[in-house]
Amino acid sequence: MKERIDEIVEVCLLAGKLMLESGGETYRVEDTMMRIAASFGMPRSHSYVTPTAIIFSIEGTDSTRLLRISDRSTDLAKVAAVNDISRRISRGELTLEEARKELRQVGRAQPGYPLWQQTAAAAAASACFASLIGGMSHFFPSLLSGGMAFWCFEMVHRFVKIRFFAEFFAAFVAGGLVLLMERAGFGGDVGNMMIGSVMPLVPGLAITNAVRDLMAGHLIAGLSRGAEAFLTAFAIGAGMALSLAIR
């Protein structure tokens, strides 16, 4: 019995860890873990999730497990995959062993889009936004500066683990490139091009998750995600401001 409970806890924690690391909302993580535990015959479980840690315990047993989450990225396909597995567990379609195997598979999976595809998407999205607000003459300059900004963000983030610095630097690169292009007489309005180029850095997921967590009553998680969104916006603004200031 003790081994089985340990295994259930392990599967719950694996599901929670995958979701939280991939950018799932904290209330969804708690809900998923408790549903999985209930489907395996443990209806009374407690979970406490913050963006950086998971605490999980099943009532009536002695062990409470704590899992530290240090690395977070954005991979919503993984959140959807874990969500799907949890639904199938609730319907009784998966045994404990199968669930663990499928979750491990999700954990090992590579991101759905390689870096070059994401960079290309960021470049094209920047170009589309700049054209949307400023007109089609902004398309190609923003394609260049938006793509470079996103690529710089990913590269700097790989070496310097401080996310806000990477965002700051990327915004600075975008601003610098736009100003250089303006000096070379290439492109249109500086403001429109800069806004377009930093769009891929905007903390859309942090804003959404902050609101959804606050609504679900997770005040700590919601406030910390809100702080994340605010700091990101501030880093982007500061990066652009620096490039404008040294012009």
Partner 1 sequence: MIVGQLLLCFVASALFGVIFNIPRRLLPHSGFVGMSGWAVYTLASRSGADGVAATFLAAFFVAFLSNVFARRYRTPATIFTVSGIIPLVPGGTAFEAMRHVVMNDYNAAISLAAKAFMISGAIAMGLIFSEVVNQLVKRRP
CA–CA dist 157, 71 (Å, integer):
12
**At its nearest, how many Å lie between partner 1 and the CB of residue 221?**
14
**At its nearest, how many Å lie between partner 1 and the CB of residue 117?**
6
Contact with partner 1 (CB under 8 A) among 42, 144, 195, 221: 195
Give DSSP secondary structure letters for 203-229.
-HHHHHHHHHHHHTT-HHHHHHHHHHH
Stretch that binds partner 1, among 54-62, 94-102, 178-186, 234-242 (CB under 8 A): 234-242
Instruction: Kindly write out the interface string for residues 107-146 of this chain, putting x where it contacts partner 1 by CB under 8 A and - elsewhere.
Output: ----xxx---xx--xx-xx--xx-xxx-------------
Stretch that binds partner 1, among 19-27, 42-50, 61-69, 91-99 (CB under 8 A): 19-27
Place of tokens 């990477």: 166
Contact with partner 1 (CB under 8 A) among 209, 213, 225, 235: 209
Query: Which of 64/117 has CB closer to partner 1?
Result: 117
Contact with partner 1 (CB under 8 A) among 107, 211, 224, 231: 211
User: Applying CB under 8 A, does 38 fall inside the site for partner 1?
Assistant: no
Contact with partner 1 (CB under 8 A) among 16, 24, 51, 147: 24
CA–CA dist 225, 234 (Å, integer):
14
Query: Which of 40/153 has CB closer to partner 1?
Result: 153
Report CA dihedral (179, 180, 182, 187) to the nearest 10 degrees.
-100
123 CB burial (10 A radius; 0-12, 13-18, 19+): buried
Contact with partner 1 (CB under 8 A) among 11, 16, 33, 75: 75
Q: Count of alpha carbons within 13 Å of 186, Cβ hemisphere only?
A: 13
Query: Which of 53/109 has CB closer to partner 1?
Result: 109
Place of tokens 């094209």: 124
Query: Which of 9/221 has CB closer to partner 1?
Result: 221
Q: At 150, phi and psi to the nearest 5?
A: -65, -40
Which residues have CB under 8 Å from 105's CB, separation 6+? none
- Six token digits for residue 163: 């996310």
In this structure, which amino acid lies at residue 178? V
User: Applying CB under 8 A, does 205 fall inside the site for partner 1?
Assistant: yes
3-state helix, strand, coil split of the chain in percent (to 5) is 70, 5, 20
**At its nearest, how many Å lie between partner 1 and the CB of residue 197?**
10
Q: Which residues bind partner 1 (CB under 8 A)?
A: 22-25, 28, 74-80, 83-84, 87, 111-113, 117-118, 121-122, 124-125, 128-129, 131-133, 150, 191-192, 194-195, 198-200, 202, 204-205, 207-212, 215, 233, 237, 240-241, 244-245
